[in-house]
């Protein structure tokens, strides 16, 4: 049989990647130049709302367990921030947690954001998402939902600590697809616990009608910060990247999400355009108690806080904060400053940096190339 993929000249496809890289470089230069000359940054494209730390499950790798809060933003407080985001020109507002559906006002807030012209979404474990809830989600105008699924039934249920979690998550995916929610994504955190089951999981997702699959490496935060036995070794990571490369030829769109901004030798084989950490340029996070930081995975510590949305305007926080991200501080010192890939990687994920796990070369057992 004719081998289309091997016969095709992939260097030609790389021209598309290089063009996208050129375009994104122009954007980042323009972003900083506008900020410097006017004192006002382009608005973030999306704001993630870290809406609660309550959860009905108890996942072995949970990153949200990294901090607890005595108080969450009230409905009217979040809506006031949404007003500000809409006025700034933010395009997308999405909730994460914890389990967002444990906030009884979640759909009220998202419907409010949708009325203000924002696209909305949330990430969920799907446990409480039955027929009635799927209809409510549709009526609230939610455009994008991500449901976590970490493996076949016994694997997923063990990871999530609940015997019904797989069944309910798959039900949620099917109901959301049936309701024609515009973007339904399955999300998988790959660890030693599910690495050997990815092919089976891909079949499950295809059978459920899922067309978007987001795969992440384990974040070294929360419970995972002390779960060294869950992290993939370099051979497994190599295997995962090969799995993604092969699987992307199928009908399912696979994204290797976002804690691996650069994939070394796999970058252009897997991606059609660069995946730069968006913090401070196109994204930020509204925290559970109103503190604003880079992204939900980023530990809520003083040095990661850019301001509090209950005390300052969101535009002030956005225009005056996020300096280290905008200055690309990670590639200004140490091994990253000498790395030949630094203008693709920019020092990797700030959260993975917490455990010195930001460098794809090191994770693959290789040495970063010197400039």
**Six-digit token string for 173:** 């995916």
Report if residue 339 touches ligand SF4, rule: CB under 6 A.
Answer: yes
The CA distance from 247 to 312, in Å, is: 46
Backbone region of residue 188 per phi and psi (left: phi > 0; alpha: psi in -120 to 50; beta: other values): beta
* Tokens 């995916």 sit on residue: 173
Shortest distance, position 227 Cβ to ligand SF4, whole Å: 18
Tokens (6 digits) for 104:
């009884």
Q: Does 224 bind ligand SF4 (CB under 6 A)?
A: no
Radius of gyration of the chain (CA): 20
Residue number with CB closer to ligand SF4 (272 or 367): 367
- Choose between 202 and 261: whose C-beta lies nearer to ligand SF4: 261
In angstroms, rounded to a whole number, what is the distance separating the alpha carbons of residues 169 and 234? 30
- The nearer residue to ligand SF4, 197 or 342, going by C-beta atoms, is 342
Give the SS3 label for residue 138: helix
With contacts defined by CB under 6 A, name the span among 147-155, 198-206, 239-247, 329-337 that binds ligand SF4: 329-337
- Report if residue 82 touches ligand SF4, rule: CB under 6 A: no
Smallest distance from ligand SF4 to CB 326, Å: 13
Query: Which parts of the chain are beta strand (E)?
Result: 46-50, 92-96, 119-124, 144-148, 183-190, 212-217, 253-256, 283-286, 291-293, 307-308
What's the rounded Cα separation, in Å, for the pair 252 and 257? Answer: 15
Of 38 and 302, which CB lies nearer to ligand SF4 in the complex structure?
A: 302
Distance CA 304, CA 287 (A): 11
Alpha helices in 39-178 (DSSP H): 75-88, 106-115, 131-139, 153-160, 165-178
119 binds ligand SF4 (CB under 6 A): no
Contact letters (x/-) for ligand SF4, 341-370, by CB under 6 A? xx--x-xxxxx------xxxx------x--
Shortest reach from residue 171's CB to ligand SF4, in Å: 29
Please state the closest distance from residue 240 (CB atom) to ligand SF4, in A: 17
Applying CB under 6 A, does 259 fall inside the site for ligand SF4?
yes
The CB-of-361 to ligand SF4 minimum distance in angstroms stands at 5
Nearer to ligand SF4, 98 or 202 (CB): 98
- Enter the tokens of residue 299: 């530990």
Q: Identify which range of 52-60, 65-73, 108-116, 276-284 contacts ligand SF4 by CB under 6 A.
A: 276-284
Q: Give residues in contact with ligand SF4 (CB under 6 A).
A: 258-259, 261-262, 277-279, 294-295, 297-298, 331, 335-336, 339, 341-342, 345, 347-351, 358-361, 368
């Amino acid at each position: 049989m004719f081998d289309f993929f091997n016969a095709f000249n992939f260097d030609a496809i790389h021209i598309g990647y290089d063009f996208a890289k050129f375009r994104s470089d122009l954007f980042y230069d323009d972003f900083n130049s506008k900020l410097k000359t006017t004192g006002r940054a382009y608005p973030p494209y999306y704001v993630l709302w870290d809406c609660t730390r309550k959860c009905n499950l108890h996942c072995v790798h949970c990153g949200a367990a990294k901090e607890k809060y005595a108080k969450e933003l009230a409905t009217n407080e979040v809506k006031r921030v949404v007003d500000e985001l809409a006025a700034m020109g933010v395009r997308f507002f999405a909730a994460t947690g914890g389990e967002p559906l444990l906030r009884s006002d979640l759909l009220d807030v998202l419907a409010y954001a949708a009325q203000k012209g924002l696209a909305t979404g949330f990430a969920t474990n799907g446990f409480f998402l039955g027929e009635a809830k799927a209809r409510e989600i549709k009526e609230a105008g939610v455009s994008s939902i991500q449901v976590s699924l970490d493996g076949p039934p016994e694997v997923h249920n063990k990871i999530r600590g609940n015997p019904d979690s797989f069944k309910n998550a798959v039900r949620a995916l099917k109901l959301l697809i049936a309701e024609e929610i515009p973007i339904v994504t399955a999300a998988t955190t790959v660890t030693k616990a599910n690495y050997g089951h990815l092919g089976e999981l891909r079949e499950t997702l295809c059978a459920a009608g899922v067309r978007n699959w987001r795969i992440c490496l384990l974040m070294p935060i929360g419970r995972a910060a002390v779960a060294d036995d869950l992290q993939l070794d370099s051979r497994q990571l190599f295997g995962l990247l090969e799995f993604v490369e092969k699987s992307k030829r199928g009908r399912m769109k696979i994204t290797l999400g976002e804690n691996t901004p650069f994939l070394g030798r796999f970058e252009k084989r897997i991606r059609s355009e660069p995946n730069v950490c968006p913090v401070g340029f196109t994204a930020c996070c509204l925290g559970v108690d109103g503190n604003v930081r880079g992204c939900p995975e980023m530990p809520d510590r003083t040095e990661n806080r850019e301001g509090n949305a209950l005390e300052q305007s969101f535009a002030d926080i956005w225009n005056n904060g996020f300096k280290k991200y905008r200055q690309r501080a990670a590639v200004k010192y140490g091994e990253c400053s000498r790395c030949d890939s630094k203008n693709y990687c920019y020092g990797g994920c700030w959260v993975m940096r917490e455990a010195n796990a930001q460098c794809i070369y090191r994770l693959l057992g290789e040495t970063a190339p010197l400039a």
